[in-house]
Amino acid sequence: MATQAERREKTRAAIVKAARRIFGERGFAAATMDGIAAGARVAKGAVYHHFATKEAVFEAVFEQVSLDLVADLDRISRAENDPLAAMAAGTQGYFAACSKGPTGQIILRDGPAVLGWERWREIDAKHFGGKFPRALAAAMDAGVIAKQPIEPLARLLLGAVTEAAVAVSAGPDIGKTGTDYARAFRSLLDALRVK
């Protein structure tokens, strides 16, 4: 017999799963708490028991999508032997994943608008953005780029990707725009290489 904590977690997971599908298909503005409750097959009160607002549900969904996206990007990056090539491949994978369907809707279209840029960046820094300092340290240790303070360089590069995300999310063709920005980011990384 499931404990009360297990039942609560199962209900919460069902709500997040249903909300992820709804936010991904319809967008935040068109989603309703009634629709999320129906999708999770729970009472609307159960949704409010776990999440005070639709924005709180969205944040939980955004966190889950971010975790899943980073796991996918880790697989892409591991295929590269060179740390800078891995960063470039991961960034290209980020824009590719965000160029279509639910991931793009949640991460780039609705994420900044619903969460606000500060919270969006804070969550992103725990997932995608948090990889930059480690990748740069690996590149420096491998002698691919010159030793230098990691934090400023990571922030500058992440700033470039964040600014690109803004441009990509605002464009009519996320796929094409994302490819263009990923290519430019690769050139930026290549310019850091020790000659």
Averaged pLDDT for residues 164-175? 72
How confident is residue 11, by pLDDT bands cut at 50, 70 and 90? very high
- Mean pLDDT, the chain, rounded, equals 90
Query: What is the C-alpha end-to-end distance of the chain, expressed in Å?
Result: 64
Alpha helices in the chain (DSSP H): 4-26, 33-40, 44-50, 54-78, 83-97, 101-104, 111-115, 117-126, 131-141, 150-170, 174-190
Q: What is the pTM of this model?
A: 0.85
* Average pLDDT over every residue of 14-39: 97
Q: How confident is the model at residue 1 (pLDDT cuts 50, 70, 90)?
A: low
User: What per-residue confidence (pLDDT) applies to 100?
Assistant: 72
> Which one of 45-49, 77-81, 174-178 scores highest in mean pLDDT?
45-49
- The arrangement of secondary structure in 56-191, i.e. its CATH architecture, is Orthogonal Bundle (1.10)
Q: What pLDDT, on a 0 to 100 scale, did the predictor assign at position 51? A: 96
CA distance 148 to 193: 13
